[in-house]
Amino acid sequence: MSSGDPARPPRRVDRAGLVIAALLAGLAAVLVWDARGLQSAAMYGMGPEAMPVVVASGLALLAIGNFIDALRGNLPARESADPVPVVLILIGLALLIAIIGFGGGFILATSALFVTTSAAFGRRAILVDSIIALVMSTFIYLAFDRLLTLSLPAGPLERLL
C-alpha cells in the first residue's frame, strides 16, 4: 500500500514464518497419522482418536493463520542472533546426555555442560572453569545424593567419594 513511503519499508514475506506454518501443518499430519492406528473402544461418546483429530484441526487452522501472517510479513521484528553460543550450549547438552547415557556419572556430565555454557557466554578460561565446575558439581552431588537422598547417577568419580 505504502510502497512509495520511504519511512516504511515494504512488507516482505517472512521465510521463517513460512517454515513455522509448514511445521505446524506437519505436526497436524503426524497427529492424524498416529490417531488412525487407534481403536475406538468407546460405545458412547468419544474414543481416544477424537481428541488428536480435534487438536490436529486446530493446528491446521493455526498453520493457515501463521502462513497468512508470514505472507503479510506480520511477524514482530527480530534482532540478529549469534548462532555460535547456541550451538556451544547444545553441544554441552549433547555431552551431558552422552555422559549420562554411557554411565559417566553426574559430576562429569554436569561439569561438561557448565564449561561449554560458560564458554558460550564468552569465558575463555576453560581450565579454571573446569575446576570450578568439578568442585561445584561434586558439592551438589554430595548435598543431594547424601543429604536429600535423591538418587543421582553415579560414574567413576562418584564411586570414589
Partner 1 sequence: MMDTFAALAHGMAVAVQPMNLLYALIGVFLGTAVGVLPGIGPALTVALLLPVTYKLDPGGSLIMFAGIYYGGMYGGSTTAILINTPGESASMATALEGNKMAKAGRGGPALATSAIGSFVAGTIATIGLAFLAPWLVDFAVRFGPEDYFALMCVAFVTVSATFGDSPVRGLTSLFIGLTLGLVGIDKLTGQARLAFGIPELLDGVEVTTLAVGLFAVGEALYVASRRHHTEEKLEPVRGSLWMTKEDWKRSWKPWLRGTMFGFPIGALPAGGAEIPTFLSYSTEKRLTKHPEEFGKGAIEGVAGPEAANNASAAGTLVPLLTLGLPTSATAAMMLAGFQQYGLNPGPLLFAERPDLVWGLIASLFIANCMLLVLNLPLVGLWVRLLAIPQPWLYAGILVFATMGTIAAKPSVVELSMLAGFGVLGFLMRRFDFPIAPVVVGLILGPIAESQLRRALAISLGDPMTLVQSPISATLLAVALIALLAPFVMKGLGRFKANED
Tell me the three cell numbers of residue 128.
Answer: 579454571
Provide, rounded to whole angstroms, the least separation between the CB of residue 141 and partner 1.
9
Q: Is 20 in the site for partner 1 (CB under 8 A)?
A: yes
Closest to 157 in 3D by CA, of 118, 140, 129: 140
The answer to whether 121 contacts partner 1 (rule: CB under 8 A) is yes
CB 132, min distance to partner 1, A:
7
Residue with cell 534482532: 79
16, three cell numbers: 521463517
**Number of Cβ within a 10 Å radius of residue 129:** 18
To partner 1, the closest distance from the beta carbon of 4 in angstroms equals 25
Binding of partner 1 at residue 48 (CB under 8 A)? Answer: yes
Residue 126 cell numbers, joined? 576453560
46 belongs to the binding site for partner 1 (CB under 8 A): yes
DSSP 49-78: THHHHHHHHHHHHHHHHHHHHHHTT-SPP-
> What number of other Cβ atoms are within 10 A of residue 14's Cβ?
20
Q: Which three cell numbers stand for residue 26?
A: 506437519
- Between residue 100 and residue 119, which ones bind partner 1 under the rule CB under 8 A? 100-101, 106, 109-110, 113-115, 117-119
Does position 32 interact with partner 1 (CB under 8 A)? The reply is no
Binding residues with partner 1: total (CB under 8 A): 74
Interaction of residue 42 with partner 1, rule CB under 8 A = yes
Nearest distance, CB of residue 78 and partner 1, angstroms: 6
Residues 70-89 that bind partner 1 (CB under 8 A): 74-76, 78-83, 85-86, 88-89
